[in-house]
Amino acid sequence: MTTIETSAKTATAGESGTEVFIPLNKLKKSPRNARKTPHSGAIIEAYAASIAAKGILQNLVVEPELDGEGAETGFYFVSIGEGRRLAQLLRVKRKQIKKTEPIRCVVDTVNDAHEISLDENITREDMHPADQFEAFRELHEERGWGTEEIAARFGITPHVVRQRLRLGAVSPKLMQVYREEGLTLDQLMAFAITDDHARQEHVFETLTYNREPYIIRRELTRTNVAANDRRAVFIGAEAYMEAGGAILRDLFTDDRGGFYEDAALLDRLVIEKLQGVSEKVRQAEGWKWADVHIDYPHAHGLRRTYPQPVDLSEEDKAAHAAASDEFNRLTEEWNSAEELPGDVDQHFGRLEAEIERIDALRHAFDPDLVARGGVFVVLAHDGSARIERGFIRAEDELPEPEAVTLQGSEGYAVNDDGEIIEAGSDSDSDAANDEEAEDDGKPLSDLLVRDLTAHRTLGLRLALGEQPDIALVAVTHALAAQTFYRGTDAHCLEIRPTSVYLAGHADGIEDTAAGKALADRHAEWAADMPGNVVELWGFIASLDHASVMALFAHCASLTVNAVKQPWERKPRAHETANRLATAVNLDMTAHWRPTARTYLGRITKAHILDAVREAASEEAAERLSDLKRQPMAQAAEQLLAGTGWLPAVLRTEPPAISVERRDEAADARSVDVSELDTKSAQPDTAKEAEAFNVAAE
């Protein structure tokens, strides 16, 4: 018999306070333990890891089990330390120890088992979190323990260890503020996004009354680049870090890949990669030059040309006809099928690609323009390379044919022999010399020409005002000449269209579906324009009325400016924009939807809840109210999807109706409510559940 076995055997109820070693399989859960809720699996794991690394640091307190006659049975009830007993059983299950492992215990038959189990759990004070964070940091820095080793010794995950180490690295000044309850844990976690103590303290000192964690994170990462930024997407984390860049990670929120700390390095990598793309395009297509920019250079001032219609070769025509015929045949053959076989679907794809390839050959740039022109390669909103072709620099413009004229522009005239003679500069020149006036080579004076053309302008105004069809052509010509051509002197109507570049107001707007649709419409018209602006009038005059109206509408549409600037005060202009939206029946749900990126993540929690309350229900808003701002925005995005909800600034007012029509509408709405489908009033609980699950994740 071993010493431990003897110690366990001699421990009796009368030996209260005795420290003994009792085999694990002789210990039982006490029915008098005050803790009724079972220990969590995580805490049992933590106990097991701690005991494996350091042994049991605190004795179990036990009392002997007695039979019905008051005799000891040889088993013991654990009054204090049930969690440690369960941890040891877990280690037995994992074959780390035997079931007879001796456990150091203290026998207590004096105190009430129920009372002391309760006392142990309530008469205690947990370590302040700040002390815990700093203690983990000391283990890491002073003992050299890595994340995995610390996690194993304390039975927690490596991620939790990394979080505590990051918190332990917060500025000691801010840690003391946290101890004094001047900061919440959420705010401290926000400061932990960086280990720059000076930066942390500076942001803390500049905070005002608004100390929301997202404000702190925003200020600390103001000079960094988010991983979802188009530059970061274009380069990628691996290439950026290989170039020596560092990525800042937020261990406490979903940072979507972190923050790139070296913005200058990232910009340099973007330019270098864009230059590689531009050189490939230039060599493959034959352009004279290719410039790269991160942002599209709207103020480039260059004339832009577009592809012009070209005839297909006989070979391409035959290939297009064959592909189209085969596509139509397959469409008719499989029209009634609910699902296409894999090989048929792939064949459809090949035919579509072939048709699109040949259709793209119907328009091409003039080779002469390609030889003189160039392309801009810029970074698109989605992090891809965007190629804009067909720009002509001033030095590459062909000289325009010299106009035949008899009059100079500086008060001089040219005779038939090419000699320059002075023209009159005032009204006296009209009657200066009758003999000179009778000379065949004498030109009309500037003032007389001005006088006559003023009368002609008056006549044109009167006549044009009486011929709306021609007025439409003239206005369309003036707009198109300035919209599609570089020069602005090819029209005689004093109309100056101005088009604001919207990309300067909303990042990525040109890459939206609406932005691409407008660009495609403009490119289609540009492809139809004559090469010389002199031929523009004849081109427009030859169009049918519907085409003239369409071109006029397109040119006019480019001048719309309903952007609200914070410093502008144009209430009447914005009211007109509202009326224009009503007149064209603008439906912004076709072009925009509220997402966490475009809207919900950029407004306050109160505004998010108002939107959910309006679009979904009061109950849905109430269920979101306890979420943090970013999860709330993501959940709201799910709830608002498909509802057609828009913020007030994007809504279109319905057109006004007459009193008679309003009365008719009111009568139409006066129906028996019992006829309504009450099911439509029920909330979409499945949709709400999906949104809350997204937020929880």
Q: What is the CATH number of the domain that holds 16?
A: 3.90.1530.10
Examine the domain organization and report whether 275 and 390 are in the same domain.
yes
Alpha-carbon gap, residue 595 to 641, rounded angstroms? 8
Residue 453 CB burial class (10 angstroms; 0-12, 13-18, ≥19): exposed
Domain endpoint, select from 122, 157, 186: 122
Residue 453: pLDDT band (50, 70, 90) is: confident
The helix/strand/coil state of 288 is coil
133 pLDDT more than 70: yes
25 and 106 together in one domain:
yes
For range 219-227, the mean pLDDT: 87
- Looking at residue 666, what is its pLDDT? 52
- Which pLDDT score is estimated for 120? 86
Q: Which two tokens stand for residue 8?
A: 């366990």
> pLDDT tens across 564-617, in order?
887 777 788 888 888 888 888 889 888 888 988 888 988 888 999 999 999 999
Q: CB of 538 within 8 A of CB of 529?
A: no
Phi/psi at 407 (nearest 5 deg)? -125, 135
Question: From CA 507, how far away is CA 472, in angstroms rounded?
Answer: 36
pLDDT at 303: 86
Do residues 420 and 496 both lie within one domain? Answer: no
pLDDT digits (tens, 9 = 90+) for 139-153: 888 888 999 988 888
- 91 in a structural domain: yes
| Core vs surface per residue 231-261: b (16+ CB within 10 A) or e | bbbbbeeeebeeeebebbebbbbebeebbbb
Together in a domain, 356 and 418: no
Top-ranked range on mean pLDDT: pick from 60-64, 70-74, 530-534: 60-64
The predicted structure's pLDDT at residue 375: 96
**What is the H or E stretch that residue 368 is in?**
helix 367-372
- What is the length of the chain? 697
Q: Are strands 259-260 and 385-392 parallel, antiparallel or unpaired?
A: unpaired
Q: Give residue 664's pLDDT.
A: 57
In a domain, 178, yes or no: no
Indicate if 19 and 118 belong to the same structural domain.
yes
In a domain, 40, yes or no: yes
The pLDDT value given to residue 663: 56
pLDDT of amino acid 337: 79
CA angle (173 as vertex; 167, 174 as ends), nearest 5: 45
pLDDT reported for residue 38: 87
The number of folded domains in the chain is 5
Residue 422 pairs in a beta bridge with 412
Encoded tokens for 393: 């620099």
User: What residue numbers bound the domain in which 514 lies?
Assistant: 467-561
| One domain, residues 368 and 442 | no
Residue 422 vs residue 514, higher pLDDT: 514
Q: Which one of 561, 578, 607 terminates a domain?
A: 561
Give helix 605-615 / helix 629-640 axis angle, nearest 10°: 20
Minimum mean pLDDT among 43-52, 108-117, 336-345: which range?
336-345
Q: Give φ, ψ of 643 to 5 degrees.
A: -85, -15
AA letter at 43: I
Claim to verify: residue 557 and residue 442 sit in the same structural domain: no
| pLDDT digit string, tens, across residues 389-429 | 999 998 998 876 543 333 333 344 444 444 444 444 444 44
The candidate with the shortest Cα–Cα distance to 496, out of 481, 509, 517, is 481
Tokens found for residue 628: 């943090």
Same domain, 490 and 379: no
Q: Are residues 496 and 520 in the same domain?
A: yes
At 692 the pLDDT is 47
Whole-number Å distance between alpha carbons of 20 and 266: 66
Residue 5 is predicted with a pLDDT of 45
Q: Is 290 exposed, middle or buried (0-12, 13-18, 19+ CB in 10 A)?
A: buried
Q: What is the DSSP letter of 407?
A: B
In a domain, 222, yes or no: no
Q: Within a domain: residue 157?
A: no
Residue 306 has pLDDT above 90, yes or no: no
Q: At what angle do helices 172-179 and 129-142 cross, to 10 degrees?
A: 150
Which pLDDT value is given to residue 657? Answer: 60
Q: What local confidence, expressed as pLDDT, does residue 488 receive?
A: 59
Residue 635 lies in a domain: yes
368 pLDDT exceeds 60?
A: yes
* 423 and 446 Cβ atoms separated by less than 8 Å: yes
> What share of the chain in percent tops pLDDT 70?
85
Report, as an integer, the average pLDDT of 637-655.
89
Distance of alpha carbon 577 from alpha carbon 570, whole angstroms = 11
In angstroms, rounded to a whole number, what is the distance separating the alpha carbons of residues 315 and 555?
A: 38
| C-beta of residue 88 within 8 angstroms of C-beta of residue 24 | yes
Q: What is the mean pLDDT of residues 647-652?
A: 89
Q: Which two tokens stand for residue 143?
A: 């003992």
Residue 554 shares a structural domain with residue 613: no
Q: Mean pLDDT over residues 128-145, rounded? A: 88
Q: Are residues 371 and 435 in the same domain?
A: no
Burial class (CB in 10 A: 0-12, 13-18, 19+), 214: middle
Q: Could you read off the pLDDT of 163-173 as tens digits, one per residue? A: 888 899 899 99
Q: Which amino acid is at 583?
A: A
In whole angstroms, what is the distance from residue 243 CA to residue 247 CA?
12
Q: Across residues 382-387, what is the average pLDDT?
A: 90
In a domain, 128, yes or no: no
pLDDT at 241: 93
422 and 479, same structural domain?
no
pLDDT beyond 50 at 677? no
Q: What span, in angstroms and rounded, lies between the C-alpha atoms of 446 and 451?
A: 9
Q: Give exposure, 551-566, as e/b (b: 16+ Cβ within 10 Å).
A: bbebbeebeeeeeeee
Strand, helix or coil for residue 303: strand
Q: Of 541, 561, 581, which marks where a domain is finished? A: 561
Q: Is residue 311 part of a domain?
A: yes
Q: What is the 3-state composition of the chain as percent helix, strand, coil, each rounded to the nearest 5? A: 55, 10, 35
Q: What is the pLDDT of residue 487?
A: 58
